[in-house]
Amino acid sequence: MFSAIAPLAVLLVAATAAPDAPRNMSPSLINVCLITKDVPRLVDFYSRVLRIQPKRTGNDYAELPTAVGTLAIFSAEAQENYIPHSAEPAANRAAILEFQVSSVDEEYTRLQGIVKVWVKPPTTQPWGTRSVYFRDPDGNLVNFFAHVASK
């Protein structure tokens, strides 16, 4: 359930309606696939950050299912064989993977030994969320956010 572009090229995958769904149903974003040169490293990072056990299909692909969609991780070499010249790993500077959490500050503390690159410390945004931004090992920007109670 995420988005498409590249450091680990973030491939945007949208699903079309199921055969029994109404014909006029809008597409539903269900999956974001990150393309990487190092599947084990990225799977390990996200399984620790998201606290989700990955579902693996061989050495080239893994999925981390969340409550609203799946973060998939796919090998750059396999992607090149499947759709040549379609993705560039570790080159994303336009997409943000955003995950809602219960407590941004607790996650910030928990992730200290996992995350190596912090982009912005926990900050309350003017639009009513509290966020912390960091990069995954391939440079993808990640936002952990929570809605802040109105005063």
Domains, the chain, ranges and CATH? Answer: 5-19+27-147 (3.10.180.10)
| Main-chain dihedrals φ then ψ at residue 88, nearest 5 degrees | -125, 105
Of residues 48 and 14, more confidently modeled: 48
Average pLDDT, stretch 8-17?
A: 34
DSSP state of 111: G
Least confident of 5-19, 30-44, 58-72: 5-19
pLDDT of res. 21: 60
Report the candidate in 129, 97, 95, 130 with the shortest Cα–Cα distance to residue 6: 95
Do residues 69 and 104 lie in contact, with contact meaning Cβ atoms separated by under 8 Å?
A: no
pLDDT of res. 97: 97
**Alpha carbon separation from 15 to 21, 86, 96, 104 (Å, rounded):** 12, 19, 20, 30
Beta-strand relationship, 28-36 and 70-75: parallel
Do residues 75 and 83 lie in contact, with contact meaning Cβ atoms separated by under 8 Å?
A: no
Average pLDDT, stretch 57-62?
A: 95
pLDDT digits (tens, 9 = 90+) for 110-133: 999 999 999 999 999 999 999 999
Name the average pLDDT for the chain: 88
pLDDT of 47 > 70? The answer is yes
